[in-house]
Amino acid sequence: MAEVAVLGGAGEMGSVSVQDLVERTEHEVVVADVNTAACEALARSLPRSVRIVRADVEDDRSLGGALEGADVVVNATFMRWVPRVTRAAIDAGAHLVDLGAYWPETAEQLAMDGAAREAGCRIVPGCGVAPGLTNVLARRGADRLDEVDSVRFASYITHPLTTSPGIVYTRFDASTGTSLVLRDGELVELPSFGEEEEVGFPPPYGAQRVHLVPHPEPLTLPQHLPGVRDVDFKVGYPEEDTRRLRALLELGFDDAEPFEHAGARIVPRDFAAAFLGRRGLGGARTANVKRVELVGRAHGERARIVYDFATEAEGRSASSAITGTVAAIAAALVADGGGRLGVHPPEGALDPSSVLDALALRGFEVAETVTPI
């Protein structure tokens, strides 16, 4: 039995990981969060006891203390803390699974491979729904092909900007700066929120507009899918939410530079996150829809493999439900000896069948379609 510490365990996604680990494994679970009152409320809802530790990711001593004694850490904090938490896990000699970040943070993690190996740590970056499950599906498809030419990821997410402060930050970060694509075997940086196109998702979602986001899959997949020449990741939201996001960006609400107003120091992005995120979802139903398409050769013939996956939730973001669950499954696999020493993304660290079988036990199904071209 291992000790699994869920950092940010009282949050929207971390609490899902905590619940899954408590209900589906016998591992000792530690809920580590700066909000201990929320930890206690979560603990009261669980079928067995957990240990609660106060953890402030911004404070090195607090963070190190929270990870002390942990065999595996699930990092469910904001993406900007991913490199810091990865370093802290390696310093503590703990294995790590995190919910994912964009490509610059993932590149920092990959650079820690040597330190992780030396410390005997197995680090699995980007192991939520995307990156995470999407990578596992790409690996699954690649194992069924003799050659992989391209992998294209598409996502449609219906929970709005008002879901939580964290969603506001995530949408801002996803829509600014540069995104990576792999084109003809070369990594290329392109403006985020660009290269719009229409993708047909399965019913009832249908055709949706998607655009480039700074996901790390174009960075990580070529290491584990030899020969792949083209990789990109695009996401779309309901039309009205896309309009709101564009308006906020045009008005500069994503700016991290503070300004003075009436004697107060205000950071536009922090204000936008707090103001919009306080509205929440109410009882709204949300969906997280994914499509992974591989093109290559099998038995000498051109073939296309498509994986379609959708999950819905009421009164919470569907993204939190599936992201927290995938991270918990990965953490349990790592705690039981899975993964590889060093820093390896899901497509290089986890057995696809183990992940998909565990998801199926929880009622999450993935559809696979194979067609000749």
Query: What CATH number does the domain containing 81 carry?
Result: 3.40.50.720
pLDDT at 282: 80
For the cut 90, the answer to whether the pLDDT of residue 230 exceeds it is yes
Q: Which domain holds residue 249?
A: 133-319+364-372
Which SS3 state, helix, strand or coil, does residue 204 take? Answer: coil
If asked whether residues 121 and 61 sit together in one domain, one would say: yes
Number of domains within the chain: 2
If asked whether residues 331 and 272 sit together in one domain, one would say: no
Say what the pTM is.
0.94
The two beta strands, 186-191 and 197-200, are: unpaired
Query: What CATH number does the domain containing 184 carry?
Result: 3.30.360.10
If asked whether residues 167 and 110 sit together in one domain, one would say: no
If asked whether residues 264 and 179 sit together in one domain, one would say: yes
Structure tokens at 327: 């991270």
* 75 closest CA partner among 54, 52, 57: 57
If asked whether residues 225 and 272 sit together in one domain, one would say: yes
Helices (H), 251-298: 268-277
If asked whether residues 78 and 150 sit together in one domain, one would say: no
> What's the CA gap between 332 and 338, in Å, rounded?
8
Which SS3 state, helix, strand or coil, does residue 346 take? Answer: helix
If asked whether residues 106 and 64 sit together in one domain, one would say: yes
If asked whether residues 161 and 122 sit together in one domain, one would say: no
For the cut 90, the answer to whether the pLDDT of residue 41 exceeds it is yes
What is the per-residue pLDDT across 162-202, written as a single tens digit (0 to 9) for each? 998 888 999 999 999 999 999 999 999 999 999 999 999 99
| R_g of the chain computed on alpha carbons | 20
Q: What is the mean pLDDT of residues 44-52?
A: 96
If asked whether residues 40 and 168 sit together in one domain, one would say: no
What is the per-residue pLDDT across 312-355, written as a single tens digit (0 to 9) for each? 998 888 998 999 999 999 999 999 999 999 999 999 999 999 99
Q: What is the mean pLDDT of residues 245-264?
A: 96
If asked whether residues 310 and 331 sit together in one domain, one would say: no
> What's the CA gap between 299 and 305, in Å, rounded?
14
Query: Is residue 369 a contact partner of residue 302, using CB atoms and an 8 Å limit?
Result: no
pLDDT at 164: 87
